[in-house]
Amino acid sequence: MTSLPDWMRPPRAEGWFAEDLDRLPEAPRHTELIDGALVFMLSPQRAWHSRVVTALTNALAAQAPEGVEVEREMTVRLDSRNRPEPDLLVTTAPYDPDRTWHDPQDVLLVAEVVSPESAHRDRTVKLHKYAEAGIPHYWRIEDEDGTTAAHVYELDTPTRSYAPAGIFRGDLRRPVPFALDIDLDRLTPRARP
């Protein structure tokens, strides 16, 4: 029987809390907290995922108005037991070099670039959790047989749930959270035959 390292043992019977993530230097990069459980990204990311996250971050940052920041791989403290790490987020919080998480009230958009390992969490769990926290916009970026597709959702505030706003291929043009126009086909280079 393999024993767990001490740092992987929850500090209390109730499990992990959001603030505990800042006290786990031994944890792998991209460790998230979902319902009080640590979630690790252990498998290596595909080149497609990395390229899409970088290109989408750059495209959003280039079009963001003053006072809006685009960050990648930064956790959002949804509540005391949930601190997921979206692939990128758009926020009104000013840059702070010591920040380790964002408050959902400052987040305009979260985007998840779906990997086989994260597909269930990105398509269901995080979709519901980000909506319940009141984040106005959620994008789920999928690789559809070599075509990049953006599944876009907007928050229905009274129900605290997301309503689909469209599935975009080719061009993603939206007036919210700010006016933007992204060529989805240019997020990744074309694969060579």
pLDDT tens-digit readout, 112-162: 999 998 999 999 999 999 999 999 999 999 999 989 999 999 999 999 999
Residue with tokens 């970088």: 54
* pTM beyond 0.85: yes
C-alpha span between 125 and 188 (Å, rounded):
27
What is the architecture, at CATH level 2, of domain 47-186?
Alpha-Beta Complex (3.90)
- Each residue's pLDDT tens digit, 55-78: 999 999 999 999 999 999 999 999
137: Cβ–Cβ under 8 A, 6 or more apart, which residues?
Answer: 90, 108, 109, 110, 152, 153, 154, 155, 176, 177
Residue ranges of the domains in the chain? 6-39, 47-186
Closest by CA to 180, choosing from 40, 20, 59, 44, is: 59
Provide the β-strand partners of residue 137: 109, 154
| Three-state secondary structure call for residue 159 | coil
Assigned token pair, 128? 């519901």
Greater pLDDT, 49 or 15: 49
Of 43, 23, 190, 172, nearest to 118 by C-alpha is 43
